[in-house]
A and B are shown apart, each in its own frame.
Chain A
Amino acid sequence: MTAIDVRSGRLPVGGAQQVPLLDIRGLSAAYGELLVLKDVDLRVNTGELICIIGPNGAGKTTLLKLVNGLLKPSGGEIWFQGERIDGRPAYKVARCGITQMFQDIQLCPTLSVVENVMTGCHVWTRSGFLATGFQSRGARVEESVIRAVAVEQLNSLGLAGRASAWPRQLSWGEQKLVGLARALVARPSLVLLDEPYGGLVQDEIDRLSCLLRELTVSGMTVLMVEHLTDVVMDVASRVVVLHYGEKIAEGLPQEIRRDERVVASYLGE
């Protein structure tokens, strides 16, 4: 991978330019009159695990919502795999290869665990009302493929035997894993994670860190918002710090730890 300037997140001038997976240029967002994100630039390359940190109200979750299409920016551009995606509805952004695990997971309570994971396959499947209602051959084949993919993902995350359970019967940690499984079966190029470590105990934190490392090694890219600083410094390949909607720092974890502005505004002594 081409070395990048950790301060700007930009590729060095000259030499072979690698097209970033996600390229955010001068992004701004506002809720009414309130500007919550101001002119943020960020480039994310394939296989990176970027962590966004900052105090409450810094605009971290807003940034994820802008990337996944749930919010429309008031300024700036978002490019993904060479295509401009800002302003597209969220379902079209998902079809480009971006998926998200929400902070509160948002599993569907009326679907079993395996069915919840199967919903993640929606993005690459096609059967509509008539095909499924009349059980066309294509719909039946597709359904069995979806189920097999979902079960395999549950197996790989250690959720064997929980396929038929209801979300309310799972622990918080297990629900997080189901949410992650649902995101992964979408076969995304970029996974957005909003505080995935929230509410987890130490064993679960370690397990999730292990999983995230494996994901990035396998070529997946992760953009994560997280409050647990120690975990962030452990798993992140790069850290971005937001403060009152502005990017105040970007760099390797050890550099962020030493950054005076970050220490003053967020990390503390």
Chain B
Amino acid sequence: MMNPIAGTKTISPVAGRPNAGRYIPYVVAAVVVLSAPVWAGAYLVSVLTIVGFHAVLALGLVLLTGLAGQVSLGQAMFFGMGAYLSALLTVRAGLPAWPCILVAAVITGVGAALIGFAVLRLRGIIVAGVTLTVNLIFYYLVMSMGQVTGGATGLTGIPRLPYPRGMPYSVFIFAFVWIGVVVLLVFSLNVARSRSGRALRVLNILAGGGEDTAQVLGINTMKYKVSAFVVAAIFASIGGSVYAHYTGVIEPGSFHVQLSVLVAIMVIVGGVATPWGAIVGATLMIGITEVLRAVAPIVLGGPTGAYELVAYGAILVATLLFLPQGLCSLPERVRRRRRADDGH
């Protein structure tokens, strides 16, 4: 076809490609975090491990909510499914832990696909309501099936994962979880920049996309929404399985909807549009929780639970009011402000 505007310059096929150099600070950050056992104490390593577990949950939610625009409040259920399936297979059936993690992930993925096909026909906030309800059903099922799951008292005696001799188990789990976070982060970033990620963004109603547009472009919207739902569930399942083998004890309260809501807040605070937001949000929220647990009993007195909820609410409201795209949008916002100032 002829160029309708004679004399215009042409652009090369690499135009618009992301610059790899800008990721150097993030690689440095990853090295600093992964070397934490060398420079940090046992307490900080355990806190960072918990941050890692939450980051895994939040990364799945970024794919589902940030890219596909499907608001789910059921991530804790899939975390719980992974934990209970792997724990039951190892404790009750005596199977080795590693294959049990994979089996749990597959079963959770199949379950998520079935739930996804049923739930994701609905739109908007209804999806959040239904996933929250399914999470509650899971909680009460686990509670009521005491002979199998241990009920409210939980399941104990979950074996540790095989780990290298000479390395503390907590350090092994820390390294395993954070290597997992890096792998899932890279996976999520790759998806976000690819054909699949573009398809999810086009159908994302929350970010100005639309399912009609997506369909006309040849995108099977249901398949993509369910795929994102399943991937998020598998992330959560693997995280839950490793969590069970880390703590050795699981109980239903660890997988209640409160965890799903907390993960959603992490994603909103960190930035729903980028996988980095999951890590930033998880670090901030768990960091604040730990600071409150240390400071609140001394300064304010009493248990910290209520203060945590107030703090979560305040942070969520402040983020939505002043930085609706989350903390990860801050650098871009500053750059835009500077450009605007330079322009004047």
Q: Which residues of A contact B (CB under 8 A)?
A: 68-70, 89-91, 94-95, 99-100, 102, 106, 108-115, 118-123, 125, 127-129, 132-135, 139, 142-144, 146-148, 151-152, 154-158, 160-161, 163-164, 182, 186, 207, 210-211, 214-215, 218
Q: What chain B residues lie within 8 Å of A207 (beta carbons)? A: 4-5
Find residues 196-250 in chain B having any chain A CB closer than 8 Å to their own CB. 196-199, 201-202, 204, 207-210, 212-221, 227-228, 231
Docked-complex contact B201 and A94, CB < 8 angstroms: no
Query: How far is A164 from B17 in the complex, measured between Cα atoms in Å?
Result: 8
Docked-complex contact B15 and A114, CB < 8 angstroms: yes
Docked-complex contact B194 and A158, CB < 8 angstroms: no
Query: Which of A91, A143, A186 is close to B215, meaning CB atoms less than 8 Å apart?
Result: A91
Known: A109-B207, A111-B201, A134-B190. Is A90-B215 also a contact (CB below 8 A)?
yes
Docked-complex contact B17 and A147, CB < 8 angstroms: yes
Find residues 1-20 in chain B having any chain A CB closer than 8 Å to their own CB. 1-5, 8-17
Query: How far is A113 from B208 in the complex, measured between Cα atoms in Å?
Result: 15
Docked-complex contact A122 and B208, CB < 8 angstroms: no
Additional A-B contact list (9), CB under 8 Å, known A110-B209, A147-B17, A151-B15: A91-B219, A94-B218, A111-B198, A122-B198, A127-B196, A132-B190, A133-B194, A134-B187, A134-B190
Docked-complex contact B213 and A106, CB < 8 angstroms: yes
B205 shortest CB reach to chain A, Å:
11
B93 shortest CB reach to chain A, Å:
29
Docked-complex contact B199 and A156, CB < 8 angstroms: no
Q: Which residue of the partner chain A has the closest CB to B5?
A: A158
Complex A-B, nearest 3 residue pairs according to Cβ-Cβ distance, in ascending order? A123-B218, A158-B5, A132-B194
B184 shortest CB reach to chain A, Å:
9
Docked-complex contact A118 and B198, CB < 8 angstroms: yes
Query: How far is A95 from B4 in the complex, measured between Cα atoms in Å?
Result: 29
B25 shortest CB reach to chain A, Å:
21
B1 shortest CB reach to chain A, Å:
5
- What would 12 A/B residue contacts be, using CB atoms closer than 8 Å? A89-B215, A95-B218, A108-B202, A108-B209, A109-B208, A115-B16, A122-B217, A129-B227, A132-B197, A133-B191, A147-B14, A158-B5
Q: What chain B residues lie within 8 Å of A123 (beta carbons)? A: 217-218
Q: Which residue of the partner chain A has the closest CB to B228?
A: A129
Query: How far is A69 from B202 in the complex, measured between Cα atoms in Å?
Result: 18
Docked-complex contact A99 and B216, CB < 8 angstroms: yes
Docked-complex contact A119 and B202, CB < 8 angstroms: yes
A85 shortest CB reach to chain B, Å:
13
Query: How far is A161 from B8 in the complex, measured between Cα atoms in Å?
Result: 9
Docked-complex contact B198 and A91, CB < 8 angstroms: no
**Residue B344 at the A interface, CB < 8 A?**
no
Known: A94-B216, A123-B217, A127-B194. Is A158-B4 also a contact (CB below 8 A)?
yes
Q: What chain A residues lie within 8 Å of B204 (beta carbons)? A: 108, 110
Q: What chain B residues lie within 8 Å of A147 (beta carbons)? A: 13-14, 16-17
B235 shortest CB reach to chain A, Å:
11
Q: What chain A residues lie within 8 Å of B3 (beta carbons)? A: 155-158
Known: A102-B213, A210-B4. Is A91-B208 also a contact (CB below 8 A)?
no
Docked-complex contact B195 and A164, CB < 8 angstroms: no
Q: Which residue of the partner chain B has the closest CB to A215?
A: B1
Query: Which of A106, A142, A160, A186 is close to B195, meaning CB atoms less than 8 Å apart?
Result: A142
> Per-residue 0/1 for B81-106: is the Cβ within 8 Å of any A Cβ (1 yes, 0 no)?
00000000000000000000000000
Docked-complex contact A100 and B4, CB < 8 angstroms: no
Docked-complex contact A154 and B196, CB < 8 angstroms: no
Find residues 149-203 in chain B having any chain A CB closer than 8 Å to their own CB. 187-188, 190-191, 194-199, 201-202
Query: How far is A138 from B50 in the complex, measured between Cα atoms in Å?
Result: 36
Docked-complex contact A125 and B195, CB < 8 angstroms: yes
Q: What chain A residues lie within 8 Å of B15 (beta carbons)? A: 114, 151, 163-164
Query: How far is A125 from B3 in the complex, measured between Cα atoms in Å?
Result: 26
**Residue B273 at the A interface, CB < 8 A?**
yes
Query: How far is A151 from B188 in the complex, measured between Cα atoms in Å?
Result: 25
Query: Which of B11, B194, B210, B216 is close to A155, meaning CB atoms less than 8 Å apart?
Result: B11
B56 shortest CB reach to chain A, Å:
15
B317 shortest CB reach to chain A, Å:
24
Docked-complex contact B195 and A127, CB < 8 angstroms: yes
Q: What chain B residues lie within 8 Å of A210 (beta carbons)? A: 4
Q: Which residue of the partner chain A has the closest CB to B230?
A: A129
Query: How far is A151 from B10 in the complex, measured between Cα atoms in Å?
Result: 9
Query: Which of B4, B9, B210, B214 is close to A161, meaning CB atoms less than 8 Å apart?
Result: B9
Docked-complex contact B188 and A68, CB < 8 angstroms: no
